Structure 1
Amino acid sequence: MLEFYFSYGGVLKRLRSGALGGEMDRLAEHFFRLGYKRASAKIYLSRIARFSRFAGTRCGPMPIHQDVVDSYLRTFPTDTPRIGAMSALGHARRVAPERFIISVPSEEDDPDAPLLASFSDYLRRVRGLEPKSREGVLLGGRRFLDWCRHHHPGQDIEALTAKQVLAAVEYRLSLSTTSGSRTAATSHIRTFLRFLYWAGRHHQDLARIVPRTPSWRLAHLPPRLAWNDVRHAIDAIGATTPVGIRDRAVLLLLATTGIRNGELRAIRLRDIDWRTGEVFVRRTKGKRDRVVPLLEETGAALADYILRARPRVDSPYLFLSFTPPVGPFKCAAPVSRIVRKRLRHGGVELGRVAGAHLLRHSLATQLVGQRRPINEVADLLGHRSINTTALYVKVAASQLAEVALPFPGGVA
């Protein structure tokens, strides 16, 4: 397979030498299968071959230890080439994991690792949290343990006292600047302390002493865009390139259905019912599948994307990345970048919140402004409680004015 990228015999001989020489053809096939451009694949293969020769002088045919990898990366004087080398080695590890000795962090390196692993398992199996939610709670637990080890070195977690817990909470709150971050900080500590009691790691339920911080859910208006701005940004997308066709379909689907970033990434081709004009949405935040209506314009944009622009790869997912490796979006960042890019191109001034959720807020605000029933808006957005949707009623100023009580004494 290397011959697809390189033709000179001397180059092929050099590529097939070193510690990973026997794996280079598999790596070439790996890049070809992922849809990498020819020039990009050659760069990656050259980087791997350079490491292969370096490792060959140190370990020969033996498996490559992490120390060899670290020594190689230290040969790069600046961060930019080092990052490229790390990316190339990541492909080598995935294709030939048997050629590497993976160093597992010891308990001496991270004494909290076993406890945090049990905490993560508790969050998944007992609390039923999704991976993204677990990340935040785990980080809160690790920060709490870091504080304990810094202020009370050598003390076992079983000796934790209420006074120490309150001191840790006070420290975390001093670093928080918003009501939301303060509420999250105390909630994460409370969850971790409940786990300690549940797992028998502490004889008291110290979670009960963690104070609750005041947070008024409806105290702020949701970030949103005027519907004319959303419409203008969508119309400004040129449907002449595959990327433009895809991006227009993405924004139309987000803006007309209000689905979340993760829900959009999880849509499969078979989830679209073209006859009824509906999209089946799976993996929702509330862990309940739902159906959203597919407007005629949005359906036409999706059909145009599937027929003319979608990469011809074997993937069940609807939206795919055009940059190698070609495949579904693995995280929220690419979709958020698409939204920000297209809104800016449409002349929309963006604040701190600019992503799929901004379009979701904008749609909900638009529907409430059109006097659509609040339960209908809640069903479309997939809210379990109508109280969640009540946030958008605050932005319907004209409707609120109609129910406002007259000022005592009349007009001055």
Structure 2
Amino acid sequence: MDRVKATMRVKRYSPRTMKTYCYWIRYFIRFHGVRHPADMGGPEVKAFLEHLAVQRHVAAATQNQALNALVFLYRHVLDQPLGDIGEFSHAKRPRRLPVVLSHDEVIRVLDQLSGSMHVMASLMYGSGLRVLETCRLRVRDIDFERQIITVRAGKGDKDRTTLLPATCIPALQHQIAIAEQQLDYRLHHGQVPVTLPHALDRKYPNAGISSAWQWLFPASRPSFDETGKVVLHHIHPSAVQKAVRQAMRAASLPRPGSCHTLRHSFATQLLSQGTDIRTVQELLGHKSVETTQIYTHVLGKGFAGVRSPLG
């Protein structure tokens, strides 16, 4: 497993991907009686994937995730590619339309939130950010003059820019002021730096205690990084998800959702206003326009100008 982690670090895999792949590799090894993966191959992988689909009833995406982890293990760590593992029972991938809220419903949810949680939920709806992208925002990512937000190392390790809602500017300026106050406090009480990507802390030793690199939404207390150094991380996504779910229940919505529902609602609102689907794709950071097209089925009207024969 040390070799697996080292290989993923070299290939710049995200921490979440590393954690997920390690989970499936360990699961695969335990499923086959703690045999070494080098002594196994395609038949064992096929049996494991069928077990996930038939006995565990996992979703298609989950089964594919496990397959990707094992392909990585054999191709990049053991240097013995699996090749064709043959036909196996695939988990069914049902087509699901995303839950979206109207603008009034979103406002009702936002009214149930306060402080930084209100700001984060507003950005997920007003800018189309994912919850983790919102948590990872730094002071340097906000451009008030051009009214844009830069999302760095988003899904697929890609950067993009998106809209900065004018109504969020005062709240974000307040968040930046709080971040600078907290930085001043830490500078006088131990100089706890913020976490930095890759080896940036070695290249720029003072970046972790500079105002530009501070988290907009930091964790409540410092923690240890992988090297045992005391650092300040961003707020954990689960705290935001819990707050948004509670707000949606308090708003008595007919279709309660999650943080991602706010992002879905951002997309449908833009499309209903006549925004070009390619523009929406760029703002959301979707790799393919086919992913964005799912929102056209949620609108319920305006299918490229087509009207029902009954009017």
TM-score category (smaller protein): 0.7 to 0.9
Counterpart Cα distance in 2 of 1:377 and 1:325: 37
Counterpart Cα distance in 2 of 1:361 and 1:335: 17
Equivalent AA in structure 2 for residue 360 of structure 1: R
1:88-134: CA deviations, max 9, x gaps? Answer: xxxxxxxxxxxxxxxxxxxxxxxxxxxx22122223324x4211112
Check 1:138–1:332 CA distance in 2 against 1; reply closer, same or farther (3 A cut).
same
Counterpart Cα distance in 2 of 1:138 and 1:160: 17
Q: Superposed, which structure 2 residues align to 1:251-290 within 5 Å? A: 251-290=121-160
CA RMSD of aligned residues (A): 3.0
In structure 1, the partner of 2:29 is 145
Counterpart Cα distance in 2 of 1:210 and 1:124: 31
The higher radius of gyration belongs to: 1
Runs of at least 5 residues in structure 2 that lack an aligned partner in the other structure: 184-193, 195-213, 224-231
1:349-391: CA deviations, max 9, x gaps? Answer: 665x522x22111111222222211011111112232222122
Counterpart Cα distance in 2 of 1:194 and 1:208: 13
- Do residues 136 (structure 1) and 16 (structure 2) align? no
1:296-349: CA deviations, max 9, x gaps? Answer: 211123234445x6683116111234x445955343212222322333333336
Q: How many residues align?
A: 271
Check 1:172–1:214 CA distance in 2 against 1; reply closer, same or farther (3 A cut).
closer
Counterpart Cα distance in 1 of 2:69 and 2:59: 16
TM-score when normalising by structure 2: 0.75
The question of whether the paired residues in 2 share the 8 Å contact of 1:249 and 1:298 is answered with yes
In structure 1, the partner of 2:273 is 370
Check 1:226–1:262 CA distance in 2 against 1; reply closer, same or farther (3 A cut).
same
Counterpart Cα distance in 2 of 1:216 and 1:157: 28
- Do residues 230 (structure 1) and 106 (structure 2) align? yes
Counterpart Cα distance in 2 of 1:227 and 1:187: 38
- Do residues 192 (structure 1) and 73 (structure 2) align? yes
Equivalent AA in structure 1 for residue 98 of structure 2: P
In structure 2, the partner of 1:343 is 248
In structure 2, the partner of 1:359 is 262
Check 1:310–1:236 CA distance in 2 against 1; reply closer, same or farther (3 A cut).
farther
- Residue of structure 1 aligned with 2:10, choices 125, 129, 139: 125
Counterpart Cα distance in 1 of 2:165 and 2:115: 17
1:188-217: CA deviations, max 9, x gaps? Answer: 333333345xx34x4xx3252054736558
Higher relative contact order (CA 8 A, sep 6+): 2
In structure 2, the partner of 1:396 is 299
The question of whether the paired residues in 2 share the 8 Å contact of 1:245 and 1:305 is answered with no
Counterpart Cα distance in 2 of 1:156 and 1:292: 46
1:379-411: CA deviations, max 9, x gaps? Answer: 1112232222122122122123854897xxxx8
Pick the structure with more helix per residue.
Answer: 1
Runs of at least 5 residues in structure 1 that lack an aligned partner in the other structure: 1-115, 238-243
